[in-house]
Amino acid sequence: MELQFIDYKPEYQPWFEKLNKAWLEEYFVVEDFDKYVLENPEEAILKQGGKIYFVAAGDTIVGTVGLRYVEDGVYELTKMAVDKNYHGGGAGQFLCQSCINKAREMGMDRLVLWSNRILENAIHIYRKLGFTEIPVSPGTYGRADIMMEINFKQEAAIQQ
């Protein structure tokens, strides 16, 4: 299956919402903040300097991810979802790696994410791609029991 990493277009918003609500409803609940972001991605992510991407297999959108502005130099990898029919085919890892590459290109200092330990496959991908666990900063998501980051500044310092 040939995967393509593509930029957000307004006509893709229903996919962004549908794919994310599917996993949220399966494992948790759609929190107020989720609902706002998923229904208003232009306002919640794009107008704040963030990005939204999709992964397509042929003409089919199979996954999505966002980079949400948190503070100067820090973005959140957020709303990563892959259609259940495509789980296990590499789309999640492809999506996550492509998003990390974009974050690096954008010159971010840190890329953070909040997750939950029951999402073992996602956490496995995050660790494999270089995320490390950090103390959870509370407030954004009620379901979050793990927080992870890639510190690009630290990586760059180590490589010098």
Instruction: Identify the domain containing residue 145 by its residue range.
Output: 3-159
Token digits for 6? 């593509």
- Supply the pTM of this predicted model: 0.94
| Per-residue pLDDT at 10 exceeds 80 | yes
Write the CATH number for 59. Answer: 3.40.630.30
**How many structural domains are present in the chain?**
1
Report the chain's mean pLDDT, rounded to a whole number: 94
Tokens of 92: 């999640």
- Model confidence at 20, pLDDT cuts 50, 70, 90, reads very high
Q: What is the per-residue pLDDT for 154?
A: 85
Mean pLDDT of the 29-40 span: 95
* Beta-sheet pairing, 74-82 with 110-115: parallel
